[in-house]
Amino acid sequence: MKTVTIMVPAYNEEDVLYNLYARLQAVISEVPNYKFEILLINDGSQDDTINILKQLREEDSSVSYVDLSRNFGKEIAMIAGLDYAKGDAVIIIDADLQDPPELIPDMIKYWEEGYDDVFAKRRTRAGESWFKKWTSSKFYSFLQRTTKVPIQEDTGDFRLLDRRCVEALKQMREAQRYTKGMFSWIGYNKKEILFDRDPRAAGETKWNYAKLMDLAIEGITSFTTFPLKMSSLFGMIISFFAFLYIIWIISKTLLFGDPVSGYPSLMTVILFLGGIQLLSLGVIGEYLGRIFNETKQRPLYFVDEYNDKKVR
Ligand code: UDP
Ligand code: MG
């Protein structure tokens, strides 16, 4: 019998966990020919999440949990989950029930047909502001235009991954993770299924615009070097016009002499170039900072407890 791991990263999700567990159980009972493991990753929650997980495990041994030593963020919680998942396939699903567990039987069906990565694509996004939708669509189109890796738009982390995708992702140990891009990068047979995304069942989103901005920068810097090329491009264009301007100034001076003037144009050019240089330095800095972080080669996370046992 094949095992399917349902992996749930959870950060301060005390309000939804019982609800989630009930919904998952209902779905699991519809697909009898598999053994299910429900693997919850407690990402350093400050609320009662960990106690609820312990209680669920006590009542049901098919529930496992990994308790991280602090809050590492969803991307890291997911790699921790993949490291601990035992299944022949792993389904990643959010704790807040924004991803309907009812899609799981369909995912398994396609998996049996030979697909390695069955991902759920949002047809609609209920409960999100137009501004969030707009910024997100702009971000995706920018990312797609600047990288050769196909990026899946309107797709979250809700998906079924075959064991070989899991093994591939486990080999990618970069500390600054943009998992959504990695799913595309590893390749294998992909299949999309469409669904309508519900608003959160309870609790509140952990993403604010600052965090989303970070994730966007992460996405751009880990999948494209386009911003670095932009600096060279700016440099070339500006040098070209500067060159024309030099010829113009020299000719003018030779033909008509040079009364002292030019303070405004001088100031404009200096300020403009100064701005471009700072911007380019900033861009280089973003990449450099990432190189610095990756060269430290730190472990991605620490585990406090795995299934009632302290991890040393
Ligand atoms: N999450 C996590 N660590 C974090 C933030 C979030 O494990 O630091 C989990 C969270 O518990 C949920 C999923 O990631 O299961 C998605 O988070 P959320 O619903 O806040 O994001 P949104 O749906 O608004 O994008
Ligand atoms: Mg959510």
Does the beta carbon of 166 lie inside 6 Å of ligand 1?
Answer: no
Let me know: does 24 contact 91? Beta carbons within 8 Å: no
Task: Please report the DSSP string for 37-71 in residue order.
Answer: EEEEEE-S-SSTHHHHHHHHHHH-TTEEEEEESS-
Say how many Å lie between the CA of residue 174 and the centre of ligand 2.
24
Does the beta carbon of 206 lie inside 6 Å of ligand 1?
Answer: yes
Q: What angle do CA 200, 71, 157 make, to 5 degrees?
A: 45
17's enclosing H/E stretch is helix 17-28
> What residue type is assigned to position 312 of the chain?
R
How many other CB atoms are there within 10 angstroms of residue 51's CB atom? Answer: 12
Q: pLDDT per position in the chain (312 positions), as tens?
A: 899 999 999 999 888 999 999 999 999 988 888 999 999 999 999 999 999 998 999 899 899 999 999 999 899 999 999 999 999 999 999 998 888 898 999 999 999 999 999 998 887 766 677 887 788 788 878 877 877 777 777 788 899 999 999 999 999 998 888 888 889 889 899 888 888 776 666 666 766 777 778 778 877 777 777 777 777 777 778 877 877 887 887 788 888 877 777 777 787 778 778 777 877 887 888 788 888 888 888 899 999 999 888 888
Does the beta carbon of 15 lie inside 6 Å of ligand 1?
Answer: no
* Distance separating alpha carbons of residues 103 and 122, to the nearest angstrom: 12
DSSP E strand stretches across the chain:
3-10, 35-42, 63-68, 89-92, 117-125, 155-162, 190-197, 303-306, 309-310
Q: How far apart are the first and last CA of the chain?
A: 32
Nearest atom (ligand 1) to Cα of 9: 7
Does the beta carbon of 162 lie inside 6 Å of ligand 1?
Answer: no
